[in-house]
Amino acid sequence: MIKIDDLQIRRKILDWRDEQVVHIEHHIGREIDLLLREIDKSIDNISAKELLYSQDFSDNIIKPIYEQWLENETNILLKDANQSLQIIHRTFLSWQKTETKFKPDNPQLWSTTDVVSIMAAGGSVAAGIYLRGLAITTVSGTGILGWLGLGATTMVSWPIIAVGAITIAGSILLGGNQLINLRTSVAERYKEMVHKAIREELILNANKPSLIQILQSDIRKTSDKIIQSLGEI
Amino acid sequence: MSHIPFIIPDVFSVGVASGKIIRFGTVLKDASSGQIIAHLQETGLGQKLLSGASTVPFSPLGAINLASSTYTNIQITQLKSMVSSLTMMNFATLGATLTGLGVSIVGFILIKKKLDALEKQIFDIKNQLDRNFKDIFEREIRTHYSSIQTLLNELQIAHTLRNPTNILMSISSRLAEESGYFKGELNYILEQEKFDKNIFQNFLQAMTTCNSVRLECFLLANELDTANASARQSGQELSFFSNKLEPNILTERTFGSNWKSGNVSSVVYRAKQQEMKNFVSGLRDATEVAETKPFLIDTLIKNDINGRDYIQSLQDERDRPLLILWHSRFPCIRTDSD
C-alpha cells in the first residue's frame, strides 16, 4: 500500500523545488542590478590611461567585485534552500516519532553522516550541504564557489576595450574636453560590454549554463534524489 | 435512508483548525499518530454546485462566484456552505474538483455537459493553432470526444439494466483507451518546444474525466478491487505530470524565443510565472486527491460497503455537498439524516 506520508513529503519537496527555482531567478535578477551599479561606479572613476589597459583594470578592479558578489549571493541562495529543506526534514522527523517512515533499504539520503556516499552517487551539492547539517557559512578553504565547482563555470571573459591606442594616446596629448569626452564615451561603451558579459554569465548564456541554471539544476537534482528515496509511489 | 456511516465535515473543524488533524488529498489524519481518521467525499449535490461554479479547476478557491445569477438562493446557500467547508479543510485551489473529492458520483448527464464544454473550448482554442495542428484537431479530437459521448450514452442505458456488470466493465475498458489517447497527447504537448496551457488543461480534464467515469463504472459494478487498482493508476498518471511540470519551465516555454532576452524580472514574465504556479498548484491538489482515492476504496472494502450503494447514497444526498466517511478502524457515527 502507498504510504500517505511519502505522498505528503513528495508534495512538499516538489513545492520546495519550484519555490527555490523561482527564488534563484528572482534573487539573481534583482541583485545583479546592485552588482552592475557598483561596477559602473568603478568604471566612472577609470582614468584615460587605465582605459588603455582595460584588461588590467578588469582583472584588478572588476573581477574582485564580481567574485565577491558571486560568493555572497550563492551563499545566500544555498542557505535559503538549505533552511527550507530542513523545515521539511523536521516535519518529517516529527512524523517519525510514531513509525519508521523512511525505507530502511535506502536510508542514505537522510543520513546526517554519510555524505560521501551520496556525493559519490551523484548527489547534488545542495543535498550534500543539507545532509551534512552544516550551515553553509562553515564551508571554508576555496570558499563556496570552489566547493560547488562554480569557480571555473562562472568565470567571465572580461571584455577589452578596442578604441585604438593611438586615438587615446593622441587625446591624452591634446587633453581638455576632447579627452574627457572620449574617456566618457569609451567608459560608457565599456560599461555596456561588461554588463552584457556579466548578464550572459549569470542569467542566460547561449554556450554554457549560466549561474542561475547551475543553481537551479542543483535544486532539481536534490529534489529528484529525495523523491527517488521515497520509493515508487 | 442511507446505511453508509457518513458524518458532516464540521465535526472536524476544531481539529483541523488547531492542526491536530491534517488533511492530505481527501484523507484526514491524526497529526500526532499519523493514522488515517476519515475520508472526505463530495456528494452529487456538491459536484453539481462546483461544476456550475467554475469550469477551470486550477483557479484559487476564492475565484468561485458566489453571487452568480445562475444560482437560486438555496443553491447559493449550499455553495457558500461548500466553499466554507473546503476552506475549513485548507483547500486553496479548485484543483481537487478536477478528479472529484472522493470517488466521482457526478452522474453521466453532468459529465456529458462537462465534455460538451470541453469540446467547445478546444475548438475555440484551435483557431490559435497552426494549420497542421488544426487538421489533427478536425480529424482526431472530434472523433475521440464523440466516442466518449457515445460511451456515456451507453452508460445511461446500462443504468436501467438489471445486471449491468458486463457492459459497465466493457465501457470502462473503452474509456481506458480514450484516457490513454489524451494521456499520449499530453505527453506530446510536453515534448514540444512551446507550451500551450489551455490545450494541456483541456486534455488533462478530458483524461481525468474518462478516469473518473471508469472508476464510477467499477464501483457501480461493485468491483472494488479493480476500482482500487484503477484509482491507483489514475493517481500515478496525474502524479507523473504533477512531478514533471514546473512553473518556471512552463513560463519560459510559454514565452518561447521571446524569453531569450533573459528579462526574468519583467512584470509580464512574473505575471506568467504566477499563473503557471497556480496552474501547477491546482494540478498537484488534484493529484493528491486522486492518489488518496485508493485509501477510501480500501475503507469501502474493509467495511463491506457495496460500491453501487455507496454511489447511490451520495447521489441521493439533497442537503450536504460534502460528507465524511470514517476510516475502517474508527467507530461509525451516523448523521441525523441517516
Over the stretch A20-47, which tens digit does the pLDDT of each residue have?
999 998 899 889 999 999 999 998 887 7
SS3 B41: strand
Contact of A192 with chain B, judged by CB distance below 8 Å, is answered with: no
Q: Does any domain span residue B25?
A: yes
Are B183 and B312 in the same domain?
no
HSE-CB for B13 with a 13 A CA cutoff: 9
In three-state secondary structure terms, B99 is coil
Cell 462546483 locates to: B50
CB proximity B289 to A under 8 Å:
no
Q: Which of residues 99-128 of A touch B (CB under 8 A)?
A: 99, 101
CB < 8 Å to A23, chain B = none
User: pTM for the whole thing?
Assistant: 0.79
Neighbours of B103 (CB within 10 A): 26
B160 and B258: one domain? yes
Report the alpha-carbon distance of residue B255 to residue B253 in Å, rounded: 5
Is residue B333, in this structure, part of any structural domain at all? no
Domain of residue A210 covers 4-229
Please tell me the distance from the alpha carbon of residue A33 to that of residue A39, in angstroms, as a whole number.
10
Query: CA A216 to CA A57: how far, in whole Å?
Result: 32
**How many other CB atoms are found less than 10 A from the CB of residue B62?**
12
CA distance B285 to B178: 23
Q: Are residues B243 and B125 in the same domain?
A: yes
Read off the pLDDT of each residue in B219-240 and give the average, rounded to a whole number: 94
Q: ipTM surpassing 0.85, yes or no?
A: no
Q: Read off the pLDDT of residues A175-205 as tens digits, 9 standing for 90 and up.
A: 666 666 777 777 888 888 889 888 888 887 7
Task: Assess whether B157 and B268 both reside in one domain.
Answer: yes
Count: domains in chain A: 1
Chain B environment of A11 (Cβ under 8 Å): 24, 284, 288
Q: Which of B105, B168, B107 is nearest to B296 (CA)?
A: B105
Q: Are residues B143 and B96 in the same domain?
A: no
Question: What pLDDT is stored for residue B328 in this prediction?
Answer: 67
Q: Does a structural domain hold residue B253?
A: yes
**Contact between chains at B294 and A2 (C-beta distance less than 8 A):** yes
pLDDT of residue B297: 94
- Per the domain annotation, does B319 fall within a domain? yes
Which residues have CB under 8 Å from B126's CB, separation 6+?
A: B133, B134, B137
Let me know whether B133 and B259 are in one domain: yes
Number of independent structural domains in chain B: 2
**Pair B40, B125 in one domain:** no
- Is residue B280 situated within a structural domain? yes
Q: What is the bridge-based pairing of β-strands B6-7 and B21-24?
A: unpaired
Q: Assess B236–A contact: CB distance below 8 Å, yes or no.
A: yes
Alpha helices, DSSP H, located in chain B? 13-18, 44-53, 73-88, 108-125, 131-136, 142-158, 165-191, 197-220, 224-244, 247-255, 267-302, 307-316
In this prediction, residue A185 carries a pLDDT of 79
- Residue A217: CB atoms within 10 A of its CB come to 15
For residue B238, give its domain range.
108-292
Could you tell me if B271 and B214 lie in one domain? yes
Residue B337 lies in a domain: no
Q: Describe the strand order of the beta sheet including B322-326 as a list of residue ranges.
A: B6-7, B322-326, B36-42, B27-30, B21-24
Same domain, B279 and B316: no
For residue B144, being part of any structural domain is answered with yes
Residue among B34, B247, B262 whose CB faces A5 most closely: B34
My answer on whether B55 and B91 are in the same domain is: yes
Residue at A127: amino acid letter: A
